Structure 1
Amino acid sequence: MKDDLDPVKRLATFLIIRHSDELRSISLSPDLKLHYPLSVDFALLMDDDPLIAHLVFSQPTEYLRLFDQAAVWAHKVILEDLKDSNKGIKKEFIHVRIDISGSPLECPETFPRIGCVRVKHRGMLLTLKGTVIRSGAIKMYEGERCYMCLKCQHNFLVFPDIETRNSIKLPSHCPSQRSKACGGTKFKYLEGSITCHDYQEIKIQESTHVLGVGAIPRSIPVILKDDLVDIVKAGDDVIVTGILTAKWSPDIKDVRCDLDPVMVANNVRRTNELKSDIDIPDDVITEFKHFWSNFKDTPLKGRNAILRGICPQIFGLFTVKLAVALTLIGGVQHVDASGTKVRGESHLLLVGDPGTGKSQFLKFAAKLSNRSVITTGLGSTSAGLTVTAVKDGGEWMLEAGALVLADGGLCCIDEFDSMREHDRATIHEAMEQQTISVAKAGLVTTLNTRTIVFGATNPKGHYDPDQSLSINTALSGPLLSRFDIVLVLLDTKNPEWDGVVSSHILSEGEPNKDEHNGNLSNIWPFSMLRRYIQFVKGYFKPVLSKEAETVISSYYQLQRRSATQNAARTTVRMLESLIRLAQAHARLMFRNEVTRLDAITAILCIESSMTTSAIVDSVGNALHSNFTENPDMEYAKQESLILEKLGPIDGFPEQVSMEGLSR
């Protein structure tokens, strides 16, 4: 491109060369008044024309406007080529959306945290990453007007100023660019020249993952216009590219009027589906497959090697670590015959005496999850968990709470028993239907809460094994039935166990050789464990085998017959929980089919959460459960016991040999 060309022609030439297909599809679109986005990769612009790319970055207010004009001009050039077919229609509104991902601009100076935005960034093309916590109503505002100079008859456009609340300010003299300056000061408004635009304000907040302890997450309002309006909702993770400016805060009596920072968005990308935080290279996937090929004959030993990586600082608690892994991995969401969605996410509740490591499991699970929110029962209200109705500038808006912000991730609620009764009742719908229906301040809507709920609570006083779970925890039956696994951790005195635990804690300072040399056969490192959970969640969609279906069905019927104290737990939800846990275990075992082993493991998890077991002596205290030397042999004994208790099952032989079980 030649340097003597004006900016609009240079930008239009770039668009014709690089984006002719997109411009052709815009020309063929039938809607005349629609606002069309045209995504431009900034790295390509840098390669083709570094000078104009620098101007777009350093003076975006002016040059993004010129870019839009260039897009319309380039579209007309493309339209000329389509005249033979008579299909193209001239469009008035095309907006260039800059995509900065992967360009040299992806650096701390131009990609700052929301809390690090300062005056030096004003007027630059910035990119901010955060979560939408508030979504305002869609409005219309007056865009540009056309005026004519009465002296030289020059027509020019005047644009609204965001800083002065979209008011239009006329220039002091005629802006004509002719060789002889006009100098006119009187202008006439041209009737019918006003262009109106769609307008919406959202608020984005920085992610808590990037903050240190004690830091308060900052937020910034973002203005969306035209085709960007209504493409995001509260709870979405977004990357926003735009221009940082400021506007005067509303006039409120006895409140000082300040300039508030605000971002005018040029491009908005939703990153909900992107696993941008966790990249899984091919060599890591190969390593996973190699790991399972080594444990082909002893699969449960391989599984236990993975589970040892969960909270390695806590000794034992095998049952809890298995429950945490299955909850984080989850089952497969499906739609039943009536069209109702059956959730795939599992929920876990830890009920235990003080000092049993409940909070440590919560914190570790939050770090493992790609998206997580941690809160405590005492510090959470129903509005803070669901959504809050807030008034901003005379208009009511909804601000997302913890469950909405954790959509697609994990919501950890510590001290679950400290929540007030009506606050606990608000999460009933969020846990089962995975939505929150809101009717506040005239705003009636439904928000998604496809989240895993991980709760921890202390028993009410001393835990009484003779009483039901709802009496011991002071939690209602309907709420308990929504948890797939409820593990009770009782701190009973066991001298042998206490000796082993104390020696483990005292030797914790010694370095673990296997943990640092990348050997996956003993304890998995945290980064590998996180990648593994994300990979199996996205890669495997396990289906139940006939054998697994028969085992799960028989166990469910047995529980229904023997349910006395656990009436709140033995509902149809328990059957769905068994299916989810069996699917999660199949994923954990790197398989696409749910076998009898997965069904039996799901039964053992459910048995752990029952106060009175339907299968006697199959599971002891979850707190004292430890990793065994030969888990496959141990499993064979448990399977034999469970199948014996379930009675004769169609399709199974009367006596199952130990060789068949170990297989």
Structure 2
Amino acid sequence: MSHRPFPAQMPPPQEEASDDDGGETQVRELASFLRKFYSDDLRILLDAEPTEHFPLVVEFAELMDFDPKFANELYSRPGKPLRVLDRAAQCAQREMIEESGNLKTEAHEFVHVRIDVSGSPLEFPEASPSIGKVKVKHMGTLLTLKGTVIRSGGVKMIEYERDYMCRKCKYRFKVYPDMEAGNRINLPASCPSKSSRGCASASFQFIEDSIICHDYQEIKIQENVQLLGVGSIPRSMPVILMDDLVDIVKAGDDVIVTGILSAKWSPDIKDVRSNLDPMLVANYVRGTNELKSDIEIPDETIKEFEHFWEEHKDTPLKGRNLILKGICPQIFGLFTVKLAVALTLIGGVQHVDASGTKVRGEPHMLLVGDPGTGKSQFLKFAAKLSNRSVITTGFGSTSAGLTVTAVKDGGEWMLEAGALVLADGGLCCIDEFDSMREHDRTTIHEAMEQQTLSIAKAGLVTTLSTRTTVFGATNPKGQYDSNECLSVNTTLSGPLLSRFDIVLVLLDRKIAEWDKIVSLHILNEHSDEKKDKTNDSELKWTLPQLRRYINHVKKRFKPVLTKEAERVISSYYHRQRQSGTQNAARTTVRMLESLIRLAQAHARLMFRNEVEQLDAIAAILCIESSKTTSAIVDSAGDALHSIFTDNPDEEYNTQAKIILMELGLVKGSPLS
């Protein structure tokens, strides 16, 4: 079997002949264009392995500047122009070989011109609609679709062409399998010979060893759930990858696919009407995994951040609290929860040891609380702050829905990505965590700690990446009993609880003074007076600004621990190991890693590249608030009734002194 570049739409033999006869002038003009703008790529191409398929990525914007008429034809009827571009690339190679004088080098036969539409008019909604808005008018045009790969099939071989000969007049002609009809061979009704005799024979003979095949893979992409309104069902579309495009994306990847919209008949099933299902024959696939966590942050905004911390260099914790007030502003107080949400979203730095073992940088958080304590509000707000997030509920999630499921499509088993895989590089929010079945909960153990999913289903054995932060919320089982351990109160196993870096318990105690303050806050939210009382400094930290800030500090800072921070974290860990009998599952080495992650996240939140003693103590206060450790600071216990203090820097000095004395790091007796 031999290979040959695959045209996006299989032409009839007559069209193939007409392409070869004419258009040589256009081919030479396009060859000069490719040599002018893509000479470096063509040189690499000449040194490539002759049997490999090589992509030559051409920017549509540059092509449009060079020849607007050809570019317009490429958009509206891309089949023939793409073949012309492939021939132009061949021509450009031959010209470069002749100029170099190295006649031993041959032009690379398997070159495919790939069209990159980024920064061109084809990025506008008309030529780049969402998957759910693809209509009949887009058929046969060069279309760009954005989505997430939810299904990835195996790499196969597909027949591209075969030769037949007329038994009567011996005329040879090529036949192209009909992709729309399941790659079926349709022979002509009569001999296609154009000779004067007009042979009308319908008897043809297949010529041995004339079949040409190509690598072939089918994937399915789904539109981004975050861009859809409530109640909308995300639509998906099959995408066909050929030659050099196969096996470059996997389930869970974000991609931008440019290709030709075609259709194929649905399988013939008894009592089911056969329809034409849309499909995209890909010309170029661009993975956006590196871009998915990035937000365009203007230089002015970065200067604003720097100026903000310059203003608060003497009172850093006051500045930090101004940022935290922007998280769920409709909820009064809950300072500890807001700090924990910020640290969870910012996260620490992934560590790779000498043996190549990775220690995750993404923290996980669990909110355990009575009904009406705002757990779901925090989950939804955190999902808005993250650029890539998936929200689900424990009751509506199976182990397959959370991890990955095996589905049978056209007689072949394929893997379809679940919530944790789709949230790779982002946030996975699971509400009603307690309503998940025990079997379903155990499936996420590996995903939370090793950040991979090992799958062995229906003969498919593979490992998928789940570099995601898990944010869970659950109600306690009945009335929360402070004398019992957390595992008993939540019915969650010890191994699962140990994977959460922060576990906050929100108990709705009836405190008259607190209820009065909260009710006044809620009533003010609904009154007109609120607009006049809003502080300018608080107004600055809106949702878009918080998103930019979190992204900026994650990209910019890779904090390292100072000696003082190491001393505090190490002493606290030893203290908890000696006294942590009630919650033994929480006081493992994972607690030490959690402290390091949270301290690094706090240093990022404070706009620093060093983890100082302040960050280590802030991480300890977060762990102390979780009711899963032996508390050494009494004031850190109640997360629900924690408020923003007027002078946080002074309060920190008091708490730091207590903690350092309890840990034996400073002389003196512990304060009561």
State TM-score, norm by structure 1.
Answer: 0.93
Equivalent residues of 1:308, 1:522 under 8 A apart: no
Quick check: 588-597 or 338-347, which moved more? 338-347
Name stretches of at least 5 consecutive residues in structure 1 with no aligned partner.
659-663
Pairwise mapping of residues 20-419 of structure 1 onto structure 2 (< 5 A)?
Answer: 20-29=39-48, 31-84=49-102, 86=104, 88-146=105-163, 157-170=174-187, 191-275=208-292, 278-419=295-436
**Kept after mapping to 1: 8 A contact 2:433/2:472:** yes
CA distance in structure 1 between the aligned counterparts of 2:276 and 2:264, rounded to whole angstroms: 5
Which residue identity does 2:135 align to in structure 1?
Answer: R
CA distance in 2, matches of 1:346, 1:185: 74
C-alpha contact (below 8 Å) 2:151/2:251 kept by paired residues: yes
For 1:621, the equivalent position in structure 2 comes to: 638
In structure 2, the CA distance between the partners of 1:612 and 1:151, relative to structure 1 (3 Å rule), is closer
Alpha carbons of 1:408 and 1:243: their partners in 2 closer, same or farther (altered >3 Å)?
A: same
Equivalent residue of 1:71, what SS?
Answer: helix
Distance 1:19 1:644, change over 3 A: same
The letter for the 2-side match of 1:491 is D
Instruction: Give the CA deviation at 1:4.
Output: 8.1
Cα drift, residue 235 of structure 1: 0.2
Is 1:492 matched up with 2:505?
Answer: no
**Pick aligned residue for 2:667 from 647, 654, 658:** 654
Summarize deviations over 1:547-593 as a string: whole Å, max 9, x none. Answer: 10000000000011111211111000000000000000000000000
- Residue 8 of structure 1 is aligned with which of 27, 32, 42? 27
CA contact (8 A) 2:580 2:630 kept: no
Structure 1 equivalent of residue 569 of structure 2? 552
Superimposed CA distance per residue, residues 457-515 of structure 1 (whole angstroms, 9 cap, x where no aligned partner): 00000001111000000100000000000000000011111111111100113475599
| Aligned equivalent of 2:470 | 453
Partners in 2 of 1:114 and 1:601 — Cα distance?
45
Letter in 2 for 1:131: T
Amino acid paired to 1:420: R
> Shift of the alpha carbon at 1:106?
1.2
Return the letter of the residue paired with 1:46.
Answer: M
Answer yes or no: is the 8 Å Cα contact 1:38–1:96 preserved in 2.
yes
| Contact residue 152 and residue 182 of structure 1 kept, 8 A | no
- Is the contact made by 1:542 and 1:591 (CA closer than 8 Å) also made in structure 2? yes
Distance change (3 Å), C-alpha of 1:274 and 1:387: same
- Counterpart contact for 1:150–1:184, Cα < 8 Å: no
Task: Output the CA distance in 1 between the equivalents of 2:595 and 2:279.
Answer: 49
Query: How many angstroms apart in 2 are the aligned matches of 1:158 and 1:555?
Result: 75
Q: Which moved more, 1:508-517 or 1:207-216?
A: 508-517
Cα separation, partners in 2 of 1:150 and 1:607, compared to 1, 3 Å: same
> Gaps spanning 5+ residues in structure 2: where?
1-21
Is residue 477–residue 489 contact of structure 2 (8 Å, CA) maintained in 1?
A: yes
Assess, with a 3 A threshold, how the Cα gap between structure 1 residues 522 and 261 changes in structure 2: closer, same or farther: closer
Distance 2:322 2:515 in 1: 23
* Partner secondary structure for residue 507 of structure 1: helix
Structure 1 pair 520–166 and aligned structure 2 pair: CA distance change class (3 A)? farther
Is residue 603 of structure 1 aligned with residue 620 of structure 2?
yes
Taking structure 2 as the reference length, what is the TM-score of the superposition?
0.92
Q: Conserved in 2, the CA contact under 8 Å of 1:308 and 1:523?
A: no
| Percentage identity across paired residues of the two chains | 70
Alignment-mate amino acid for residue 560 of structure 1: R
User: What is the CA-CA distance between 1:91 and the residue it aligns to?
Assistant: 1.7
Cα distance change on mapping 1:531 and 1:458 into 2, 3 Å: same
Q: Distance in 1 between matches of 2:323 and 2:196?
A: 77
Deviations 1:113-148 (A, max 9, x none): 101111111101000000000000110011133567
SS in 2 for 1:160: coil
Q: Residue type of the partner of 2:93?
A: H
In structure 2, relative to structure 1, the CA distance for the partners of 1:590 and 1:164 (3 Å cut) is same
User: Please, what is the CA RMSD of the aligned residues?
Assistant: 2.5
Distance 1:306 1:465, change over 3 A: same
Letter of the structure 2 residue corresponding to residue 17 of structure 1 = K
Shift of 1:620: 3.1
Residue 504 of structure 1 aligns with which residue? Answer: 521
C-alpha contact (below 8 Å) 1:540/1:592 kept by paired residues: yes
Could you tell me how far 1:108 is from its partner in structure 2? 1.2
Letter in 1 for 2:33: F
| In 2, Cα distance between equivalents of 1:540 and 1:512 | 36
